[in-house]
Structure 1
Amino acid sequence: MNVFKSLVYRFRGLLLLTLIASALSAAASIALINEINNLITAPEAFVNTRIGMAAALLVALFVCGFGSQALLTAFGHRIVYELRMVMVKRVLDTGVEQQEQIGAPALYASLTKDIMSIGEAFNRLPFVLYNGILVAGSFIYLAWLSWQLFLLSAVVIGLGAGLAQVLMMRMRALMKIVRDTDDRIYAGYEGAIDGRYELALNAWRKRRFYERDFEPAVEMARATEVSADRYWTLSLNLTITIILGLTFGIFIAGAAFGIPSANVIAYVLVLMFLRTPLNDLVGGLPALLTGSVALSKIDSLSLEPYQPGFNVRSEKIETATGDELLALENVVYEYPHEGGEYGFRLGPVNLRLRTGEMLFIVGGNGSGKSTLAKILTGLYHPSSGLLRLNGVAVTDNRLAWYRSHFSTVFSSFHLFERLVGPRGEFDPALAQAFLERLRMERKVAIDGDCLSTTRLSQGQRKRLALLTAYVEQRPILLLDEWAADQDPVFRSFFYFELLPELKRCGKTIIAISHDDRYFGIADRVLKCESGVLREYKPTVSVQEAGAQLEAAAGRGESVLQ
């Protein structure tokens, strides 16, 4: 609950003010009950001054009650706002490796249901807090009326509260099970949406997914929630029964202790008044317990601690074409062992990349290409070994600087609508020229700093992803199977014209590809096989690729130069 505690500490002044207002409202309620008791026992004393006192107490009750609950409700919404901002910032600051270990369903569940549960808890908190103070003040008033009856009430209500506590603890344990099941439910949502093609094409798969994957998770959540609600309703009805039973017992005890009937009647009046606050108090506990479970779940995600601001400073490196730009020295990456089996191992990798070089990386599925790409871009931390950029060793405190030299389009890319340049602002003329070079000007327009639409085919979306990477104007461009979704004509254009133009513009290009007919245009081709990187000789020679390139260049001038 560290996030919650830090937020409460930040707004402790507002919280203290609401506590004071709640206490004043409760005091006004108790004082008003006392006035009613006085009216019952001595109606002849109810003169104009008492009317004025009752009216003042009613005004104080309304103003303080409304003020405290309005402040706490606003505080609850503020907490939800802050939690959303803090949680997304923590996700943004958490490394890719850790996010992948947590899993997207767990992150989505926390960013949606957990935060909403906390918000609902805070929406109930004003009433729970107010009723708690009112009940506490009423018990003080009851002790003043009769200490004998108060002791009897304290024993009975204390035993009931102890039993209710046991029920609430059991309910919290069940809610934790429900929350753990939510991750499976969100995984089902993800499968239903992301796997829509496969499910639509195979009715048997759809049925198996629905009945054997999704339904058991939903059924477990339903059954567990029913059990949890039964503990809550049991606690609620137990409270009502105890209060009403105690009310009958008070008359008997009052006669036995010789307490004046006026005091007994006043005592019973207060107990009957407490029925509603106690019911509301017990009724609000499930929301608070759910919020508590949600806070615990958020803390269990092992996200990076919240840090305000972003590290956007970058030192531009100056290198001439042909100079050594990037080096991997004995880099090894090992995936964690699972189920007693050893994880995949990449490396040791020794690689030198020069400024302006075009490097192709090839290999089969599961060979380690994507892992190598994530290490090259600084998204994964090597298990051992060292990365150097322009001769500077990449350490943890230089990681943000290192990453700021890469623009990427991964195979599992996300297309953002907003274009971002080297210092946040981009060059509109440069972006428009490249949009036209990608042959997308009739599909998409650049409106301010946003793309007019991203609802396009996968191949067209990849072109726009390349646009967003290009306008960042970073020296190293990594493309992961970029041409896989392009038509044959544009694929040839990409390899024979676009990549060489980007290289002439000073880009250092790392391309993961399976298109062996185009390997000859690369300066080097490396093959990744079972985690080992080695030189690869393409079947198409550099001379043949060069002849194709010259023929393509003769068909038109580049707009990128």
Structure 2
Amino acid sequence: MKLLALLLRASRGSVLVSALCGLLSGGSSAALIALINRKLTGTDIPERTLVSGFIGLMVLALATRIISQVLLNGMQQEALYTMRLRLSRSIVSAPLRRFEELGAHRMIATLTDDIVTVSSGLMLLPLIVVNAAILLGCLVWMAWLSWKLFLGMIVFMALGVVSFSFFSGLAVKGIGEARKTQDVLFKHFRSLTEGIKELKLHSGRREVFLGEQLAGTAASLRRMYTRSLNIYSASSSWGMFLFFVVIGLLIFAMPAFSTLSLAELTGYSLTVLYLQQPLQTLTEFVPFLARADVALKKVEEMGLSLEATAEASQAPPAGTAPPTFRRLELVGVTHSYHRENDDGRFTLGPINLSLEPGELLFLVGGNGSGKTSLAKIFTGLYTPESGEVRLDGQPVTEATRDAYRQLFSTVFSDFHLFESLLGLAPPEQSGKVAHYLKRLNLDQKVRVTDGKLSTTELSLGQRKRLALLASWLEDRPIYVFDEWAADQDPLFKQIFYEELLPEMKRAGKAVLVISHDDRYFHVADRLVRLDSGRLVEPESAPEVRHAAS
């Protein structure tokens, strides 16, 4: 079982100690049954000895059960902690293109639903270990009491196990199929939250989405899980039925074929009745364990898929000052990918382009021409399929790619605004932060306390200004702005192009701006145009001014 392997990886020694304590707890419970049987059928053991033994066994069963559960609970949480961090680091380490191909909905399903399911399964393991130990201890007692009856008991248990395993296999297969369907459902949930405006504005589209896509997938998931759980319920009930068959045979059939002592008959009847609860617990837990096992397999597959493509970059130590550069070049760079509503692959390049400190480079072109993809290659988020990215004449390799990325501060069109500045605003920077907030006309709306933003519930233009604040505080040598001004009012557009960008230039920053604002093309030192993935001959600043006039 994958869950047990997960715990063994967390702490093999603790698992063994916990298992030993579980066995002691189960053995003590079985010994209690034996002692009760001796008392009921008569014995020459002194009453005081029986009472002392009963109390001692109770205390031992309780103490070892608690120790087993405590150890397993600690290992469970440690295993989950390690799994969450490992998967999160795998996501960050995977190439951006691989992340985009897998889809955010699959990542979210794995990080939330799968890990919660694994957590639920791990929480059951302490009870499973203890109940399994009780079962083992009782079987040992029954074998000691009468090996002939024990053989008959084993036959019925084998019948129950084989039939239960057969039906469980069918149910596990259904759960695996349901987990695949769950990825589709999470994709619909993401569409529901991200497309809420469009769904509200078009009742026909809304009803098709809710009534056919989302409801259809949810119904399939319901049907798969219901069928699997029904199979488990039927097989569990069959197992309980076999218990009553065993008791009936013990009481009514066995005395006709073999002479049984009262101690044997009472002992077996008591033990079988006592075992009903542990076995019922074990069989009821099987569906949850099966779901947890499927979820863990999904988590591991996701992690392996990401790790298989993980970049070998060595991250610079925290607090390291951003590197500097003299010249950045793209030499014969190409990159291909699928575009929406396009059966073929779109090829960007070959691209030959350079950037130097103190230079304002504008990248323009129509929608779908490859501007954002080129910016991602520029920043090291995409790896070119051919050609080289060179920094000061040296090719950027997998080993140096993460250090290379530290040159850049970006605000992409699909940027994410964190709720804190993540270490960018230490107390000594408070004056600088206040100055930037006032400069961006956000000082009346946002406060920064201990690096945390008082709110991010702002308009898109204001959120972009906060992203620009974070970018300024990063103080990197190269800035990339992807349609930053598209959501700004005319005043802030003018401030951005005619004040902020020239200030960055004077500070020696290199700036790559993706823009459609031809009114401000004259600000650029150079303007390059992409047309269907190909670079058009760059225009000089005078030509840009002439074109703009």
Range class of TM-score, shorter chain: over 0.9
Segment of structure 1 superposing worse, 335-344 or 66-75? 335-344
1:176 aligns with 2:176: yes
Q: Which of the numbers 390, 394, 398 marks the counterpart of 2:392?
A: 390
Is the contact between residue 6 and residue 79 of structure 2 (CA under 8 Å) also seen in structure 1? no
1:277 aligns with 2:281: no
Q: Distance in 1 between matches of 2:340 and 2:541?
A: 39
Is the contact between residue 105 and residue 190 of structure 1 (CA under 8 Å) also seen in structure 2? yes
Q: Distance in 2 between matches of 1:318 and 1:3?
A: 48
**CA drift at 1:341:** 4.1
1:454 paired residue number: 456
3-state SS of the aligned residue for 2:172?
Answer: helix
Q: TM-score, normalised by structure 2?
A: 0.93
Alignment of 1:27-66 (within 5 A): 27-42=27-42, 45=45, 47-66=47-66
2:315 paired residue number: 311
Is the contact between residue 254 and residue 264 of structure 1 (CA under 8 Å) also seen in structure 2? no
**CA drift at 1:463:** 0.5
1:531 paired residue number: 533
Aligned residues: 543
Q: Flag the 1:335–1:114 CA change in 2: closer, same or farther, 3 A.
A: same
Alignment of 1:369-388 (within 5 A): 369-388=371-390
Cα deviation per residue 1:180-208 (whole Å; 9 max; x = unaligned)?
11111111211111111111111111111
Cα deviation per residue 1:220-242 (whole Å; 9 max; x = unaligned)?
11111110111111121011101
Q: Flag the 1:543–1:214 CA change in 2: closer, same or farther, 3 A.
A: closer
Q: Distance in 1 between matches of 2:146 and 2:365?
A: 86
Q: Distance in 2 between matches of 1:278 and 1:4?
A: 19
Q: Distance in 2 between matches of 1:432 and 1:185?
A: 44
Cα deviation per residue 1:437-477 (whole Å; 9 max; x = unaligned)?
22222221221222222111000000010111111010000
Question: Percent of counterpart pairs with the same letter?
Answer: 35
Is the contact between residue 172 and residue 289 of structure 1 (CA under 8 Å) also seen in structure 2? yes
2:481 paired residue number: 479
1:209 paired residue number: 209
1:262 aligns with 2:266: no
In structure 2, the gaps of 5 or more residues are none
**CA drift at 1:543:** 5.2
Task: Name the structure, 1 or 2, with higher relative contact order (CA <8 Å, separation 6+).
Answer: 2
Alignment of 1:89-488 (within 5 A): 89-251=89-251, 252-301=253-302, 302-304=305-307, 311-313=315-317, 317-319=323-325, 323=326, 325-335=327-337, 341-420=343-422, 427-488=429-490
**What is the Cα-based RMSD across aligned positions, in Å?**
2.8
3-state SS of the aligned residue for 2:354?
Answer: strand
Is the contact between residue 25 and residue 133 of structure 2 (CA under 8 Å) also seen in structure 1? no
2:492 paired residue number: 490
Q: Distance in 2 between matches of 1:485 and 1:434?
A: 19
Is the contact between residue 525 and residue 541 of structure 2 (CA under 8 Å) also seen in structure 1? no
Q: Flag the 1:175–1:425 CA change in 2: closer, same or farther, 3 A.
A: farther
**CA drift at 1:120:** 0.6
**CA drift at 1:103:** 0.7
Q: Distance in 2 between matches of 1:4 and 1:142?
A: 28
Q: Distance in 2 between matches of 1:46 and 1:169?
A: 51
Q: Flag the 1:184–1:191 CA change in 2: closer, same or farther, 3 A.
A: same
3-state SS of the aligned residue for 1:361?
Answer: strand
1:557 paired residue number: none
Q: Distance in 2 between matches of 1:475 and 1:297?
A: 41
3-state SS of the aligned residue for 1:427?
Answer: helix
**CA drift at 1:318:** 4.5
Q: Flag the 1:455–1:530 CA change in 2: closer, same or farther, 3 A.
A: same
3-state SS of the aligned residue for 1:418?
Answer: coil
Q: Flag the 1:543–1:339 CA change in 2: closer, same or farther, 3 A.
A: closer
Segment of structure 1 superposing worse, 253-262 or 199-208? 253-262
Q: Distance in 2 between matches of 1:266 and 1:101?
A: 62
In structure 1, the gaps of 5 or more residues are 549-561
Q: Distance in 1 between matches of 2:296 and 2:345?
A: 33
Is the contact between residue 519 and residue 538 of structure 1 (CA under 8 Å) also seen in structure 2? no
Q: Distance in 2 between matches of 1:132 and 1:444?
A: 58
**CA drift at 1:82:** 3.0
